[in-house]
Structure 1
């Protein structure tokens, strides 16, 4: 059941005041041992001389003797948090591990300002949409972030060909191959100073994932296992049988039809009119189970350390069938350092095996629309029930299956050697191999037997993709300090080569369905093969200068070359300048008791994008499906464009970071603006050319700007009780700044200058005519009728207004409790956008009982129709794409809770044990009219609610 709320903004502001107020009343300020700069980066950690707390958890009474800075991974270099000039957010293992999720992006939702993550589906193994400071490109694939795992670049998507009916955008997240418990840190690079060193690949931000490494000490064995139960997080309240039958009969009466048609099985006597089934409960109401087990071994000495981890995960679905998603991961790392500490080497490997089988057609919509008095799914003998050929059984497609098998291997080696004091050479290299195979099997038994189909109409589709890439990055670094000056110089190069192979096999007509897995047994076979190769080379550099540890200048630059563009446009330059002033180190603030840290920073620079696919600038041809005189022919499919070039994004940011009361309270406030131009899209061409468009750079500019605020505090920190809290909020805005020739192009109905690129043009709904009860819409051109594109002129801003999260962690002795509230303020499509015409053979939410009539002139909906009234069906079509179909999709969600108890036996084999309970997507407060406000695409299963129990043992 959904909860309602009044104001997300008011709640958020009140929470901020509560945090700030509580921090001023906290006791025992001197007992601090951990300081957090903001909610995403662990900043200064104050260490006592005793280094750690005593076993009784009592803090040392000795004074602070040293300050250890948390070091952030910026990709090619590391930087102390207080000295960074760019925007780098960090999520550490303590926020990720043991959560009941299979993809780490789900654990990051709501924790990082400026990073909006949406889960695309509740189906296991699905994808995520991640936007770092908005959408810069007019193309969906052009907005993908760059992923780097242990120094190796991996694809931002694993494209699928046959999963579009079950997974939105046919995308499978590559991060499904990484067990979240194997991740040590995630750093997200956002502004130009942080991303420009990645040049053409940093326009949409960079996500750096560092897996866990071994630590020196005795060999330790760790076992972590959990069991989770998941259910659909929300349901819609639909009409019961009595209400539904009344709606249907009224619809025919409104249409003047007195005798029900032969196809009106629900009300003409063919089906039992007293039968009732809650189809949401039957079709998407099952309980999914997840079993996860991880075993790891780690240890080492002063010179060499290692870690080996293996994990297994199995997850079922909420659908009424035995679909199952399995993952098996093996990660390993070995690190070595010479005795003189001049030479270091790290080797890490990741091996992942994933198998997923699921239904071939989504049934979420059917669970809503199916008549409540529809027949049983199975006959008494257990076969699929077709109810005398009157029932389109929703589980019939279950005999058709979609399955995929994915394998991934990633290996990275990172070596460095200090050849002279302050001068070091470094080599980063790695390989990434991925094999993906998917099957879509469509046997004739998925159709009603009355159709007379045989196995000769069965079909099997297979898609295989193989991908291999390697990257080599030699680097040279120089660090030098003289007096009050400090210089850090980095120079390096990148060479990356990707090669891919794809084959598609389609088979139609089999002698028997027993042969359907063997496409070679099909009567008709279509086989296509393709290969691609991508080469990328770059030179990059960084100069960092500090004066008196107060004034910092950071300059980065990169020259990129990509094979995805023509010879004349293959290379481009990118760079950025960042500066910071640590004003808390100035003499006039050095002794200030109230201010413990203060920094102003700003950056400006350019990044780019070559996310367009391979060979897009070349002439290409496709094999024609129909030959001439029995001869296979080629059809031209793309025009040559040697001037095809990079998208470019100019990023600007200004920020202030503050720490108060010995860093008990920390605040970060940032303003940013990104402007992206040279859009890589299809430019429309006249039909006389024989092509609808040509791949080119559109002279359009998209602007994303906004504010980000992060607040963290330690209101209470005593010997037995600790309370940490953090809050973040992001307020993004977006608009199309320029688009030459927009009004005369095919994009005129899609974009409007001065508005976000996510806008939609809809009809202006003006309520119900009090005399006729029909929907009314504004006639903009005054011609007396509603038509497109003349009358759908209302611009609706679809998308997020602001978003964020509130996180709290409370620790009392061996008990730890934490929770995360995620909130989003947004407008989006609601149920009206995809609902069928009320009165047709489809169930409706109870809200549609409030229908207009002479007795109910204030009804919200037009009188029902069976579909015979063409005027009403036309008005219903307008209604679905009008202002009535767009509404408030804001929500506050209890995203995650964790409760754990840690045991430390004094004697025995087990050195340490932890029992924990976790929950995901537990409660949602919203006014949204639909299944779920997070992801509103029609017909796909929303994210699930999950409860998890587990135990971790350390030996």
Structure 2
């Protein structure tokens, strides 16, 4: 028998071993599977949900799509956890597991909000802070973040100044504190870096397009890049910002990368905008009858040669709807956004790029373009002691518009000639017609470049003590052009390019900030201590240069200023602003229900004289979480209850640079062929800070496990040391000296919020959010008001939004002219009778927002409402009967057959008494009327497509709307935007968001 050796057995044994190993491996592979799915709540996908194999270290997180993937054994248990939601555990049976998380009312106390220099649990905050998130912002097809905030926050009133893209907004957080309009701007903080609040435009160039030339700096921020916006309102929340917080603080936080898996997102939105509300103008027959009556009233029997509309020169049977011609265009907008995010371990990143293009409702090819870039990175060390976060924002805006808003041209005579001749050239109708479209040759260009960057470094010295430093840089430049070529005038005048001009303005603002901060926290058996101390060092530089060039060789060279024979420097200024401060916060929570919060700041500003360069600001806030008392321990009806109060002082240095110094300017004309200097301002070493004392008390309640949540707050603010010019007698050689006016402005208000979860099922939910603010503004003190130049502007005890006007008494049935109250009974209507007070301020405002979702469908809509008085369209007209059209209500004018008319008898301007009466009417309370409105501010219908073929991605399609319906009795185009400018537009949008 052959001997069998080990060597001989080696090969077959190896084969058997390999087969056994393969069998084991194959068996293991059969028992392991790759589990994936989407995690969401009632509002959509949830990012950052922890998905892990129970009782192991095998885990992952959902990405921003809510998608996860994990390798896990069959029949093992997998747990889903997210702060604020109830954890859920499942036994793995399939490869796909979609999970809907349910909110845990018991964990809502852990939700934190951004308070600027620190974060705080929402239910443990002692201050007043309102917040909206990316969800609310993304529901609206808007270009400016301020537009997304309208109607959504109690105490925050935002008004859009114009429907022209690239314009500005007026924002008031708890009323007007300053007598100066520019002194009421809030502090904007973007990712910890201060952002400009003042307009970045040269008013002399953009003033005919935007109200007061206001171009919002926030136009440079893409709303799609924003994660949240918090508004700090009361003293407890704002005093830590010292001299910058008196008008409130707007904190904008941009998005960051989440999760380990790389994900991409593409969003595209196409929208169409039209003027939200048209007005009913006179047709040709009605207009011509009004004109003929005007001539008859003036005693003119033969129409003059220049009355082309009625003397037969123009066709009496012609009618043109000039609203449709000049502002009736459908403006198409396109907004595209791309982003990629991801990370590895404890490092995450997000990069996004977006491009927006907006047309206008005006005639012609004009529009606004913006390109945005965002890069955000964050990292935490393995031992969680060191972390850093950085953000870079870059944007470029280009706005090409006509130099003058053509909205006023809709009042052109309805039988005016056609705009173009048959050959396509502008029609001047034998020199009888000043063609409005010629004004389109005068154009406005704006190119804005913005760069902002910040980095925050933090290190935990131990478990209770951490050190951080935040630094940031900003750079913003706006280069504007306004061309006025000779072609805007009738060719019959014979003007050449010698009268053409180009005004160029370059504005540059740059700055940096550095803020070191030390945080300390410590817990005892009965309480928690949180403290921080920090400092701020900031510098901003501003440069402005403006040049006007005239007399060009040809309009082809109108952008080449060297081609002009005359160049005049209009502005050449440079200023520097330096600011430093130290601040501190101490917070103590006792037994999780009694809270005291102390904040303080000492500021130094280069804007004030040597006697008052520094000032102290601070606040105290307290809160009692009474629902945590033993008496409510078993109460099923009360989920949460908190009573809070605060008091403190904030300030303002929004006055511009070098206001306290002796300053000099350059004489516009040469003296003895020499450029000279002349004094502009007087030195005032005592020039000091505006100060606002703020007090508030509030009650916050939640019932039925959070299904109903409400709050009511009352605040009382007083602003003193008003930064204005004190008038001086002419003998001093100066009109005024910059100083602190001994005047006090008071703002009080009730603010109410209500949130209800009307229906809350697994596949269907409906929630409602309501906010209401009832503000009151009053001038409570003004030393020697009657002897000052402000005597005709303000009244003690009345709001600072009042106007002193004539008291309109209607139309005199005998004379047919407007009549007014003669207060001093001297038989003459003049400024001595202009004493009636009319308030054009807001009486109350708010919003009602509803969110309804059913499976993959969701509907969100917001109704905004405002109760106010304001100037109606009658304010912007001269006399009835001149060569301009009017609204149909103007037909109710005085005649022998209509002596109870609303308007006086028409005149062409030859009746001096009628003209004077019309001027007095424009300065009376007769042109101030109800401008209240209810508006369907935003609407979104969205469907999220989730199917097998979209296993690793999601696709949502949506329809959005903005300013869709306006219910108002306002006499004019729009109750929100200023008359004479393009009114607000309504927008319909369609888009999709694909994430993969």
The structural deviation recorded for 1:341 is 1.1
Q: Distance in 2 between matches of 1:257 and 1:81?
A: 74
**Distance verdict in 2 for CA 1:795–1:300, change over 3 Å:** same
1:873 aligned to 915, 925, 934, which one?
Answer: 915
SS of match in other structure, 2:179: coil
Inter-CA distance 53–759: structure 2 relative to 1 (3 Å threshold) = farther
2:171 corresponds, among 112, 118, 130, to 130
Deviation of 1:895 (Å): 0.3
Distance 2:644 2:84 in 1: 24
For the pair 1:672 / 2:715, whether they are aligned, the reply is yes
Q: Are 1:840 and 1:865, in contact at CA under 8 Å, matched by a contact in 2?
A: yes
Given candidates 216, 231, 237, the residue that maps to 1:188 is 231
What do the CA deviations read for 1:411-449 (whole angstroms, capped 9, x no partner)? 010111110120000111110011110001111111111
Matching residue within 680, 683, 688 for 2:731: 688
TM-score normalised according to structure 1 size: 0.94
Residue in 1 aligned with 2:347?
A: 304
CA gap 1:826/1:255 in 2 versus in 1, 3 angstroms: same
CA distance in 2, matches of 1:56, 1:923: 42
- Counterparts of 1:906 and 1:898, CA distance in 2: 26
Q: Mean alpha-carbon deviation: is it higher for 635-644 or for 87-96?
A: 635-644
Contact 2:442 2:484 in 1 (8 A): yes
Helix, strand or coil at the partner of 1:169? helix
User: Partner residue of 1:917?
Assistant: 959
Runs of 4+ in 1 over 6 A off after TM superposition: 31-35, 51-58, 60-65
8 Å CA contact 1:456–1:509 kept in 2: the answer is: yes
Matches within 5 A, 1:488-499: 488-499=530-541
> Measured at CA, do residues 952 and 34 of structure 1 come closer, stay the same or move farther in structure 2, by a change above 3 Å?
closer
Quick one: which of 60, 82, 89 aligns to 2:123? 82
- Partner Cα separation in structure 2 for residue 62 and residue 294 of structure 1: 31
In the alignment, structure 1 segments of 5+ residues that lack a partner are 1-30, 36-43
Residues 216 and 59 (structure 1 numbering): CA distance in 2 closer, same or farther, change over 3 Å? closer
User: CA–CA distance in 1 between the matches of 2:444 and 2:493?
Assistant: 23
CA contact (8 A) 1:216 1:304 kept: no
The answer for the alignment partner of 1:944 in structure 2 is 985
d(CA) in 1 for partners of 2:815, 2:567: 57
1:653–1:891 CA distance, 2 compared to 1 (3 A) = same
**How many angstroms does 1:175 deviate by?**
1.1
**Which of 684, 702, 709 is the matching residue for 2:745?**
702
Task: Give the structure 2 partner of residue 254 of structure 1.
Answer: 297
Instruction: Tell me, yes or no, if the aligned pair for 2:84 and 2:111 is still in contact at 8 Å.
Output: no
For 2:598 and 2:102, the matched residues in 1 are separated by 43
What is the CA distance between 1:668 and its match in structure 2? 0.7
Contact 1:575/1:606 (8 A) holds in 2: yes
Query: Which residue, 359, 367, 375 being the options, matches 1:316?
Result: 359
Q: Does 1:425 align with 2:467?
A: yes
Give the deviation of 1:938 after TM superposition. Answer: 3.0
Q: Relative to 1, partners in 2 of residues 1:523 and 1:445: Cα closer, same or farther, differing over 3 Å? A: same
Q: Which of the residues 141, 144, 149 maps onto 1:103?
A: 144
1:118-517 to 2 correspondences below 5 Å: 118-161=159-202, 162-367=205-410, 369-517=411-559
TM-aligned CA deviation for residue 159 of structure 1: 2.6
Alpha-carbon distance change, 33 to 262 in structure 1, aligned in 2, over 3 angstroms: closer
Residues 65, 286 of structure 1: alpha-carbon distance in 2 compared, 3 angstrom cutoff: closer
- Which residue number in structure 2 is paired with residue 49 of structure 1? 87
List per-residue Cα deviations over 1:625-678 (Å, max 9, x = no partner): 222222222221111111111100000000000000001100010000110000
Q: 2:219 is paired with a residue of what secondary structure?
A: helix
Deviates more, 1:262-271 or 1:546-555: 262-271
Mapped to 2, the partners of 1:908 and 1:249 lie a distance apart of 71
Deviation at 1:34, TM superposition (A): 9.1
Q: Does 917-926 or 871-880 show the bigger shift?
A: 871-880
| C-alpha distance after superposition, 1:117-137 (max 9, x if no partner) | 000110000000000000000
- Alpha carbons 2:878, 2:919 under 8 Å: kept: no
In the alignment, structure 2 segments of 5+ residues that lack a partner are 1-39, 45-81
2:49 is matched with: none
CA shift, 1:910, in A, is: 6.2
Q: Is 1:616 paired with 2:659?
A: yes
2:41/2:102 contact within 8 Å kept = no
Which TM-score applies when normalising by structure 2? 0.90
Match of 1:740 among 783, 786, 791: 783
Deviations 1:450-494 (A, max 9, x none): 222111111011011122101000000110001111100100000
Q: Give the secondary structure class of the aligned counterpart of 2:785.
A: coil
User: 1:464-863 counterparts in 2 under 5 A?
Assistant: 464-527=506-569, 528-788=571-831, 790-863=832-905
- The 3 A distance-change label for structure 1 pair 56 and 773 is farther
What secondary structure does 1:490 align onto? strand
1:174–1:53 Cα change, 3 Å: farther
CA distance in 2, matches of 1:799, 1:442: 37
Residue 509 of structure 1: how far off its partner (Å):
0.6
SS of 2:516's equivalent? strand
C-alpha RMSD of the superposition: 1.9
Which digits, 9 at most, give the CA deviation of each residue in 1:514-572, with x for residues without a partner? 11101111111113422111100000000000100110000000000001111111000
Matched, 1:901 2:943: yes
Return the index of the structure with the highest Cα Rg.
2
1:558–1:53 distance in 2 versus 1, CA, 3 Å: farther
Residue 93 (str. 1) matches residue 134 (str. 2): yes
SS in 2 for 1:572: strand
Instruction: Please state how far the C-alpha of 1:52 moved relative to its aligned partner.
Output: 11
Paired position in structure 2 for 1:25: none
Deviation string for 1:130-165 (max 9, x for gaps)? 000000000011000100000110101233111011
CA separation of 1:109 and 1:56: change in aligned 2, threshold 3 A: farther
**1:717 and 1:723 in contact (8 A); partners too:** yes
Counterpart in 2 of 1:4? none
Tell me: higher relative CO, structure 1 or 2? Use CA pairs within 8 A at least 6 residues apart.
1
Shift in Å, 1:707: 0.4
CA distance in 2, matches of 1:658, 1:750: 43
Q: Secondary structure at the match of 2:345?
A: coil
Name the CA distance, whole Å, in 2 between partners of 1:798 and 1:723: 37
Contact 2:105 2:706 in 1 (8 A): no
Match of 1:70 among 91, 108, 111: 111
- Decide whether aligned partners of structure 1 residues 594 and 69 sit closer, same or farther in structure 2, where only a CA change above 3 A counts: same
Deviation digits for residues 332-375 of structure 1 (CA, Å, limit 9, x no counterpart): 101101111111110111000110010101111111x2100011
Separation in 1, partners of 2:209, 2:606: 34
Q: Aligned partners of 2:124, 2:360: CA distance in 1, in Å?
A: 47
SS of the residue aligned with 1:105?
A: helix
Distance change >3 Å, CA 249–CA 149, structure 1 → 2: same
Structure 1 contact 128–173 (Cα < 8 Å) conserved: yes
Q: Pick which of 851-860 and 772-781 moved more.
A: 851-860
Q: Distance in 2 between matches of 1:667 and 1:494?
A: 37
